[in-house]
Amino acid sequence: MDAIEAHQNSMQRWAHRFAVACTGLLLFMIAVGAMVTTTRAGDTNPGWSWRFWEWFISWWQADGGRAWEDGHRVIGTVIGFAGIGLAYTLWKGDKGKARRWLGVAALALISLQGILGGLRVLVVSDAEVRDTVLAYTGGGYDVELRRAVKAMIHGITGQVILAFLACVMVVTSARWAAPWQGQKSPQARGSRTLSLALVALAVGQLALGTLVRQTGQHVMWHVGGAFTVTLFVILMLMRVYRYHAGFAPLRHVASTAALLLVVQVFLGLVPWMLTEGRLVSYDPGSLVALLRTAHVTVGALLLTVLSVQALWLHRLALPGDAERSATSTAGEFEHGLRTRLNDYAVLSKVRLSGLVMVTVAAGYFIGAPGMPNLVVLAATMIGVSMVAAGTSALNQYIERERDARMDRTRNRPLPSGRMTPREAMTFGLLTIFGGLLIVMLGVNLLAAALTAATSAIYVLIYTPLKVRTTLNTLVGAVPGALPPMIGWAAATGGINLHAFVLFAILYVWQLPHFWSIAWLYREDYKRGGMKMLSCEDSDGGMLARQIVLWCVALMVTSFLPVLVGMAGRTYGLGAIALGFGFLAAGVINHVKRTRESTRGVFFASLLYLPLLLAVLLFDVW
């Protein structure tokens, strides 16, 4: 260990110390926060000062519940400064490494937690903040409900951040730098999957516990969750001692998790029996208050240990098919993890999802000008982006054999063999169903139905048609044009003529856009067995004429917002100017018919759409 530590520079050693400090302080802060909730001391100091030194003065002079509340804020302030130290030392000590961003992420999460804590206080005590929050989230005013919601989010976020900081503490340690024997086996991969499921279950269980503490309801859900987590912890402990007993850090972590689980169950049952179900204990020195506070603290510590367990398992259980062992290093693991994350980004087609988000947001803001409901907007963006990612994954799952024959797609995760078809299909289905659930519960049924239709048309109709008819592009443009209608439905709860105008603009725009791509990759499409117009057009003349024709059609379609009263003269002038620019690129391509001129059409299409939507937004607002 000393030899390994010698290879760490001073900044790396300080980064580890700051990570230890942040983790320990946050665990202490969670314990103090749990006492604040147990004794209902959260509103004893309704003020929120931006001058951090005032917390220390207030805490020093306070007593009773006020001392617990102000002490909680004092610890948070100290953690903030420790987080700055962690971000700085990790950034300076790991130059050129992706790991340096962990410090930035840690500081951002600590800052987010402080903002959530401040909102929890101000949304109750400050009328101006309360009205601002209401304006951006909608709904009627209920002080107790909104206090409870903010407190629940604040509580569970703090526990998740604690787990993240503990993982940073492990990654920056000297032990992490030591080589280890990687296990490339089905058992190791099974343990890795189980560890992630266990972390997710633990987060859900802590969220249920926060709900019970704030509302006093759904206790049996929490009990059922405890039973489920217990079964999974026991199963993981058995797997570790059966398959990974030679890996000491993992063995120690799994044993610690089992021990903490026993303590956690005891701390949950005893105060419940002593008080016959009463959750509030106003005396901080009482046995019940101490036991309940310990229950929350040990729960956060259990999530932390389970997260570290998952981290060690992912380091041990390297992805692979051969059942063999190979000595690996932390650097190789981190490189493999970056590759894995990049594979999921490729599987999700992140750039395409970004364009979808732009059109969804445009539909939302054009449909309902003015102050947005941030809750609905966030649910729409998150849900639709998840569905888009899952749809892309299923598309690549279906086309994996064709992708292997094309130069531009053969290095994707599936055809290259870096990811199994089963893994891609599971990811696609889970993200689609999860995204649809978010849109259905957080937005409305119409938006969810349109989102589901977009995914279904793309996967079940457009994808099979690619190898059957050249008309597939006309069908594929339908799911590509639906996102602005989803945004419109999310904002207004309905669909009208103006929403169909946005659909028409997006539909027509896609045809010259995609045909330029089809011509650039026509040889690839031939090898993949795709039925494209570009594959049947030897000199590109017919496709070039189609591009010009649809650019003209787009100029007409883009003027519809003016004709139906959606927009005024400013938008009309902008649409005409942008339309002529796009058409000019199409005409140049028709004359030259070179790869460069076709690429010019493609880039013109990428500029045209966001600029047109921006002009429309400007005019509408």
| CA-closest candidate to residue 251, choices 166, 304, 312 | 312
Phi-psi region of 370 (alpha: psi -120 to 50; beta: other; left: phi over 0): left
| CA-closest candidate to residue 50, choices 73, 18, 17 | 73
Model pLDDT, residue 323: 38
**Residue pair 164/156 in contact by the 8 Å Cβ criterion:** no
Q: What do you get for the CA distance between the two ends of the chain, in Å?
A: 63
Distance CA 232, CA 197 (A): 9
| CA-closest candidate to residue 265, choices 306, 295, 291, 305 | 295
For 570, other C-beta atoms within 10 Å of its C-beta total: 14
Q: Where are the domains of the chain?
A: 2-338, 339-495, 496-621
Determine the length of the chain: 621
Distance CA 21, CA 192 (A): 28
Model pLDDT, residue 55: 62
Q: What is the pLDDT of residues 340-382, one digit of tens each?
A: 778 888 888 888 888 888 899 999 988 887 777 777 888 899 9
For 198, other C-beta atoms within 10 Å of its C-beta total: 23
Model pLDDT, residue 329: 59
**Residue pair 558/516 in contact by the 8 Å Cβ criterion:** no
Residue 48 tokens, joined: 């929120």
**Residue pair 443/367 in contact by the 8 Å Cβ criterion:** no
Model pLDDT, residue 508: 93
Cβ neighbours of residue 531 closer than 8 Å, sequence gap 6 or more: 465, 466, 467, 468, 469, 470, 472
Cβ neighbours of residue 359 closer than 8 Å, sequence gap 6 or more: 483, 484, 487, 506, 609, 613
Pick out the chain residues at pLDDT < 70. 1-9, 40-66, 95-96, 123-126, 129-130, 133-151, 179-185, 214, 216, 275-285, 317-337, 537-538, 540
Q: What pTM does this model have?
A: 0.69
For residue 470, give the DSSP letter: T
Model pLDDT, residue 307: 92
Model pLDDT, residue 183: 62
Q: What is the pLDDT of residues 583-605, one digit of tens each?
A: 998 899 888 888 888 888 889 88
Model pLDDT, residue 4: 47
Cβ neighbours of residue 179 closer than 8 Å, sequence gap 6 or more: 327, 328, 329
Give the homologous superfamily in CATH for domain 339-495.
Answer: UbiA prenyltransferase (1.10.357.140)
